[in-house]
Chains A and B, each alone.
Chain A
Amino acid sequence: MASILIVAEHANGALNPATAKCVDCARGIDGADIHVLVLADSPDAIAAEAAALEGVGKVLTVADAAFAAPLAAALAPQVVATASGYDYVFGPSTTFGKDLMPRVAALLGVNQLSDVMEVVDARTFKRPIYAGNAITTVRVRDGYTVVATVRAASYKAVGSQDAAPIESAEAAGGTPAHTRFVSVQTGDSDRPDLQTAARVISGGRALGSADNFEIIYDLADSVGAAVGASRAAVDAGYVPNELQVGQTGKIIAPELYVAIGISGAIQHLTGIKDAGTIVAINKDEDAPIFEVADIGLVGDLFKVIPEIKSALG
């Protein structure tokens, strides 16, 4: 029977929702035995969350102070040690997985399959290239360990089950001293998370300043949406980098995506292809964003946003 090891992503003692989406992807491989590996300074609560994900057969943990921060150089040797004997090693296609998994793949002597969006069969997968402008079908040679990152936006989080067994795995030890965590600076967490929110409202260069961008936050708050942005808005300093949506930002799949004052460059559109309904508000009727929008409105955002606010009451 095929065996799959999924490397869990977590922060502040909680499992990242991308892990549940990796499990969904892994379930596409018929009859596979799915295990989740939790590497943390104190893994117990995270492991309990992972054990309750539908389809997980076992959770493995290694507790080590060196795993307190998600440093690829510290985690990769442990993943490689635990992965021996597994046919597949999966991680999420988040910055955590993108940083770690290629290091794991190289140590295992294999290439990585990046951004898996569909499992065709046990050896055949689909993945996007050229910013999603082409989809390739890739067959992996038999007997070759499949190290892959899973494009979370292509999958749903699995449901829950009675807890699977949790065991501690053998510690590989020998964490390198050459890489040290210093700090992480994160935005406010009162608003819905951009990666998992059902609704997202994004602003672009047209907002013109950080002050003006407040009307996007305000509109988002009034409908319980997360806030996103184009690269131009991030580059101009209107909003922090973690709000960037697109090829080099976040790939998201909300039910509702509202693009305000965003032209619709291909690099931006890559990030929203899986959205349920796309709404575009732009004063230029020829803006490319209208080619993908389900509902478009030509107008000046500084006029339209207040009108929406008052229509919502």
Chain B
Amino acid sequence: MDKILVGLKRVVDYNVRIRVKTDGSGVETDGVKMSINPFDEIALEEALRIRERGEASEVVVFSIGPSDAQQQLRTGLAMGADRAILVEAADAVDPLSAAKVITKLIEAESPELVILGKQAIDNDNNQTGQMVAALWDRPQATFASKVELADGKATVTREVDAGLETIEVDLPAVVTTDLRLNEPRYVKLPDIMKAKKKPLDTTPIADFGVAPDDAFEVSEYAPPPQRSKGVMVEDTAALVAALKDKGLI
């Protein structure tokens, strides 16, 4: 297999406590730490392991986002990706438009495998990978916790509500990652230096001829309803009594 394409989305770091702006116009992102979406980091790690096993020759990372997403692509290159593509978009891109752009990247790059995170932890949409597979008319193996490649096929174990489901898909295909697929490596300082020399191409999203879809209009952002503060009990007897009181046990 020659090429694996991996998507890296720039998102607010998962450790940041998200705050809704007081005027309800959005979420506070000024001066907040930004990182690679954790699921995408897992996607890249998987691609690198496949290449390191000799089952792929090249790992290409891309991001659709603002010019600052170069930072996340550089981190991806430092982790070990061979080259990077930034599809520069000043405004947020909806999942369908992102999927259309990715389909065009696929046309240009002809990967055997596209690995994406199952969801981005900002909008939690969980759509893009499935949409890419649909538009590309290829198989999808979502929520993967294990991927094995052989003879032009991928055998993928998926985390589903019932437990673990295994499916077999012909390549090329789209895989989306779940948390337990792997544990991403740490980036070492010399790798960051080396990554500076790796190619990173930037193309404006306008060049892809994909019109943004503005059918969804967010009229308000609100903080979630807060649960009122409860009581602390002194000991087990008080706990059991409180539960019996409420008729819960």
Chain A residues within CB distance 8 Å of chain B: 11, 71-73, 76, 94-96, 98-107, 109-115, 124, 128-141, 144, 176-187, 195, 199, 223, 231, 234-235, 240-242, 247-248, 250, 255-256, 266-267, 273, 277-279, 281, 290-299, 304, 307-308, 311-312
Contacts and interface: CB of A to CB of B under 8 A. Distances in A.
Contact of A195 (B95, B132, B161): B161
Contacts of B135: 106
Nearest to B214: A141
A184 to B, nearest CB: 4
Q: Is the interface of A mostly helix, strand, loop or mixed?
A: mixed
B248 A199 contact: yes
Contact of B125 (A114, A195, A293): A114
Contacts of B14: 267
Contacts of A281: 239
B246 interface: yes
Contacts of B161: 94-96, 195, 242, 250
Given A135-B222, A179-B167, A297-B233, A130 B124 contact: yes
B127 A114 contact: yes
B55 interface: no
A77 to B, nearest CB: 9
Given A186-B162, A295-B231, 12 more contacts: A76-B134, A105-B127, A106-B134, A113-B216, A134-B27, A134-B224, A178-B173, A179-B169, A185-B165, A256-B248, A290-B232, A295-B232
Most buried by B among A137, A281, A295: A295
Nearest to A125: B216
Interface string B203-232: 000000000011111111111100101111
A298 B179 CA distance: 30
Q: Is the interface of B mostly helix, strand, loop or mixed?
A: mixed
Contacts of B94: 111
A76 to B, nearest CB: 7
B235 A138 contact: no
A157 B97 CA distance: 35
Interface string B235-247: 1111110110010
B122 interface: yes
B144 to A, nearest CB: 11
Most buried by A among B127, B173, B233, B237: B127
A103 B95 CA distance: 12
Given A111-B96, A111-B215, A179-B139, A294 B124 contact: no
A131 B142 contact: no
B103 to A, nearest CB: 10
A247 B124 contact: yes
Contacts of B17: 133, 266
Nearest to A275: B227
B133 A73 contact: yes
A140 to B, nearest CB: 6
A17 B72 CA distance: 41
B163 A240 contact: yes
28 contacts: A73-B139, A101-B130, A102-B131, A103-B140, A129-B124, A130-B12, A130-B121, A134-B27, A134-B223, A134-B224, A137-B219, A140-B217, A183-B165, A184-B165, A185-B163, A199-B249, A241-B159, A241-B163, A242-B159, A242-B164, A266-B17, A277-B243, A278-B230, A295-B239, A297-B233, A299-B236, A311-B237, A311-B240
